[in-house]
Copies of this chain bind each other. A is one copy, B any other.
Amino acid sequence: MMLNLVPFVSVDKMMQLVLHLGIERVLIDLAAEIEADFRRWPLFDKTPRIASHSDVGVIELMPTSDGVTYGFKYVNGHPANMKQGLQTVTAFGLLADVATGYPVLLSEMTILTALRTAATSAMAAKHLAPKGATTMALIGNGAQAEFQALAFKAICGLTEVRLYDIDPAATAKCARNLAGSGLNVVQCATPEEAILGAQIITTVTADKTNATILTDNMLGAGVHINGVGGDCPGKTELHRDILLRSKIFVEYPAQTRVEGEIQQLDPDHPVTELWQVITGATQGRTSAAEVTLFDSVGFAIEDFAALRYILAKSKATGLYDNLDMIADPDDPRDLYGMILRAAG
């Protein structure tokens, strides 16, 4: 009667695990796991995430499988939540054994999604940003900002982060949290000031609108844009002119054309799949002057890699609980008898 118990990583256990391992170590490990799964991209079962939209937000399921393990994430996006003291994005995820269909892990993923998104961003930038990039503008200083800054420090050698948010309190919060991180943190009053001298520009804002965080005339040659916040229909951050002069990299085109910045472009506008850059099948950046854009919306394979990492680390450290989630009668055909016997 042990098969009914599913290992569960609660929010508290996830925080303990991240603190135990060290957040930069976790970000480096996650980037390596995600990169390894991008290298074997063709063997995954892939589908655009299944979204249920309402006026105020979206709830999505993101499944995938490598034929041995199945995983999915539940995630919502509700920009107005913040005003009520709620998270804009919350998530949890599950891994299961393909051979039996039995779950093997349930985990919180609000924290893990922030970690895996940042690790994916930095992993992509390692392949796409100009050589020797050390300064990043970070536009949008909400729940995901610090994770982005630390991932770029740990994985890309970032030394300076330049913060901007329409709400100065968010910028102050982010600067306070990053004090002592080893990064040179500069609080900026305008987006223009934030991008001064930055070789990398990360946009990670939350409004569910076609916002224009960056316009074309703000951008110099050779920058790498890490566009994180445009991730559902009607939610974009970049002016269309920026897209037209950038070389655009995406995770899974069928999903990104609906959800990403490129929803503003023709459906046949050329894009490059990031996994093909990683395997060497195609080129990433082709010149120092080129503007590269990672139009990141988040894909199920990133969550799959992150969940497998958490399963291994939680097992190794004992940082998990057991959840009585799967009915497991002694005789599998006697589900009803199990209930009857519970009365005794």
| Residue ranges of A at the interface with B (Cβ–Cβ < 8 Å) | 3-4, 8, 10-12, 14-16, 18-19, 23, 45, 47, 50, 52, 54, 56-59, 61, 63, 65, 67, 70, 72, 74, 76-78, 81-82, 84-88, 90, 92, 94, 96, 98-103, 108, 110-111, 114, 141-147, 170, 173, 176-177, 323-340, 342-343
A11: shortest Cβ distance to chain B, in Å? 5
| B residues less than 8 Å from A67 (CB atoms) | 54
**Cβ of A339 and Cβ of B143 under 8 Å apart?**
no
The CA of A50 and the CA of B23, in the complex, are separated in Å by 34
**Chain B positions within 8 Å of A330 at CB level:** 85
Each complex incorporates copies of this chain amounting to: 2
**Chain B's nearest CB lies how many Å from the CB of A30?**
15
Most central of A70, A147, A327 by chain B CB within 10 Å:
A327
Interface centre among A332, A333, A343 (most CB of B within 10 A): A333
A336 x B146 contact (CB < 8 A): yes
- A110 and B337 contact, CB distance less than 8 A: no
A177 pairs with B336, CB closer than 8 A: yes
List the B side residues contacting A63 at CB < 8 Å: 50, 52, 59, 61
The answer to whether A87 and B327 touch (CB under 8 A), given A74-B72, A101-B57, is yes
Q: A61-B61, A76-B96 are in contact. Are A337 and B50 (CB under 8 A)?
A: no
Contact A100 B84 (CB under 8 A): yes
- A167 CB, min distance to chain B CBs, angstroms: 8
Q: Which residues of B contact A72 (CB under 8 A)?
A: 61, 74
Which one of B87, B170, B327, B329 contacts A326 once the chains associate, using CB atoms below 8 Å? Answer: B87
Docked-complex contact A327 and B110, CB < 8 angstroms: yes
Q: How far is the CB of A38 from chain B (nearest CB, A)?
A: 20
Cα distance, A203 to B9, chains bound together (Å):
40
User: Please, which residues of chain B bring their CB within 8 A of the CB of A323?
Assistant: 8, 10, 323
